[in-house]
Chain A
Amino acid sequence: MDLLIDFLPDLLTGLGVTIVLGVVSFILGSAVGALVTLARISSSRTLRTLAAAYVSVFRGTPLLIQIMIVYFGLPQLGLEIPPIPSAIIAFTLFSAAYLSENFRAGVLGVDRGQWEAAASMAMPYWKTLRRIIFPQAIRIATPAVGSRFVALMKDTSLASAVTVVELTRVAEGIGTSTFRYMEALLLVGLLYWLVNTLLQIGQQALERRMRRAYA
């Protein structure tokens, strides 16, 4: 308890950075993921192959390696990116790969008859996606996307490896200066849990509202 009081400013800053990392990466990741999904369902074989390769690479390699490549590797190519942007880039690309799969499952989960009904009224492809398919795909994908968000929140702890002072790094700092690692780690663990519990409550409310909107 005294740790919480003594290190409150540090903890709050760390919490803030963790939330920013998670939220910003999730939003950007969703945008990139949506583009990847469009490529994966497009009629162009090249686009489909490229998108599938992207997903395969970013899902098939450790996130920590991806973060370190951006932060430690890219400077070798003359591209120096500060810690927080580095982490956000890596988290964005990583979660985009997973989110694109969730979105794709959502799109494929929409009944084929919906495409046909839209086609039979001469609706163009993009309009069909926007007005008919996406609104339904989002509902199908929401549970999986929510889980992704929670997973991403926890994954942000890896940013500590590239010197970003987020929650995990703050805990390490407290541990180093007080040698009370156990309390410090349990404390930030609790903070992660609180954030994710709030996220899950929000997600459940969202899902309830979406279900209502159908009836």
Chain B
Amino acid sequence: MIVSVRGLRKRFGDLEVLKGVDLDVGRGEVVVVMGPSGSGKTTLIRCLNLLEEPEAGTVSVCGTELACGVRHPAGQVRELRRRTAMVFQQFNLFPHLTALQNVMEGPVSVRRVPRAQAAARGRELLARVGLADKCDCYPAKLSGGQKQRVAIARALAMEPEVILFDEPTSALDPELHAEVLQVMRELAREGMTMVVVTHETAFAREVADRVVFMDGGTVIEEGPPSRFFTTPDHPRVRAFLRLVAS
């Protein structure tokens, strides 16, 4: 297992957002997390790299296991984050750095890759997401779709074991979804392990190995897309699918 989560609990004040969630993601697997807003799916994915600190449960990524709710050394959290990368809804590119510098930043200042080597690799990755000509552009000059593709290249540059996508197309104009999803589709085909929180049902149908449906802080349905989208067990899932289909 690349990611293994047990009994995850998280509350914001009085609101219990995660009520004991289990999740396993195998190597090369693409898991799509769906659910109505407020169901806890974004919180779940943010717990996987400890951007949110759960109150209870365990998070384990590639054998680095963290028990939540107790103090753990910062080094252990970093170790876990070194094996994951995240693509954010709002891109979160560094606005003071060019596209290439954004992609190089992690390798150079965290993984201590020599600058020249990181630059070469950065250009390669930007080419891979179709932005070879945008290396020297600052984020302000890029469209939303281009920004998100730079963010994906930046994630890849960390050579993660798994990439966590938090609603990667939700902040984009509809006509820009395709270019981002295309890049993600290729990543999946190349065997990248991915956890994707998204409402893109077409993407989930085509790319996901497994769909996880959350509601009210728990996973209420889980299965391969072929079954999930045609014969879900749970009435909440059927209602949700009717809504997003219309």
B84 proximal to A (CB < 8 A) = yes
Q: Decide: B109 and A120 in contact? CB cutoff 8 A.
A: no
CB neighbors of A among B41-77 (8 A): 49, 51, 74
**Hey, which chain A residues are within 8 Å of B90, CB to CB?**
111, 113
**Nearest CB of B to A123, in Å:** 5
Q: Decide: B141 and A121 in contact? CB cutoff 8 A.
A: no
A122 to B74, CA, bound (A): 10
A interface secondary structure, majority:
helix
In the complex, per-residue mask of B65-96: 1 if CB is within 8 Å of any chain A CB, else 0: 00000000010001101101110101011111
**Hey, which chain A residues are within 8 Å of B140, CB to CB?**
214-215
B interface secondary structure, majority:
mixed
- Assess A122 versus B92: contact at CB under 8 Å? Given A127-B109, A215-B138: no
A119 to B85, CA, bound (A): 10
CB neighbors of A among B154-213 (8 A): 154, 158, 164
Q: Decide: A122 and B88 in contact? CB cutoff 8 A.
A: no
**Residue in contact with A124 in the complex, picked from B78, B85, B86, CB distance below 8 Å:** B78
A119 to B106, CA, bound (A): 10
A127 to B109, CA, bound (A): 8
In the complex, per-residue mask of A154-181: 1 if CB is within 8 Å of any chain B CB, else 0: 0000000000000000000000000000
In the complex, per-residue mask of A88-128: 1 if CB is within 8 Å of any chain B CB, else 0: 00000000000000000000000101101101111110010
A132 proximal to B (CB < 8 A) = yes
Q: Decide: A111 and B96 in contact? CB cutoff 8 A.
A: no
Q: Decide: B81 and A120 in contact? CB cutoff 8 A.
A: yes
Q: Decide: A123 and B106 in contact? CB cutoff 8 A.
A: yes
Q: Decide: A131 and B88 in contact? CB cutoff 8 A.
A: no
A135 to B105, CA, bound (A): 14
**Nearest CB of B to A129, in Å:** 12
A30 proximal to B (CB < 8 A) = no
- Assess A117 versus B110: contact at CB under 8 Å? Given A135-B96, A214-B138, A215-B140: no
A37 proximal to B (CB < 8 A) = no
**Residue in contact with A116 in the complex, picked from B51, B82, B93, B154, CB distance below 8 Å:** B51
Q: Decide: B88 and A119 in contact? CB cutoff 8 A.
A: no
**Hey, which chain B residues are within 8 Å of A127, CB to CB?**
109-110
Q: Decide: B109 and A131 in contact? CB cutoff 8 A.
A: yes
**Hey, which chain A residues are within 8 Å of B84, CB to CB?**
120
Q: Decide: A119 and B81 in contact? CB cutoff 8 A.
A: yes
**Hey, which chain B residues are within 8 Å of A119, CB to CB?**
49, 51, 81
A113 to B93, CA, bound (A): 9
CB neighbors of A among B99-148 (8 A): 105-106, 109-110, 138, 140-141
A136 proximal to B (CB < 8 A) = yes
A213 proximal to B (CB < 8 A) = yes
**Hey, which chain B residues are within 8 Å of A135, CB to CB?**
96
- Assess A213 versus B96: contact at CB under 8 Å? Given A116-B88, A122-B82: yes
B95 nearest CB neighbor, chain A only: A214
**Nearest CB of B to A169, in Å:** 44
Q: Decide: B92 and A136 in contact? CB cutoff 8 A.
A: no
**Residue in contact with B88 in the complex, picked from A113, A123, A136, A215, CB distance below 8 Å:** A113
The 5 tightest CB contacts between A and B, nearest first, are: A113-B92, A117-B92, A122-B81, A120-B86, A121-B106
Which B residues are closer than 8 A to A by beta carbons? 49, 51, 74, 78-79, 81-82, 84-86, 88, 90, 92-96, 105-106, 109-110, 138, 140-141, 154, 158, 164
12 residue pairs from A and B, CB less than 8 Å apart? A113-B88, A116-B88, A119-B51, A119-B81, A120-B86, A122-B158, A124-B78, A124-B110, A139-B96, A214-B95, A214-B96, A215-B140
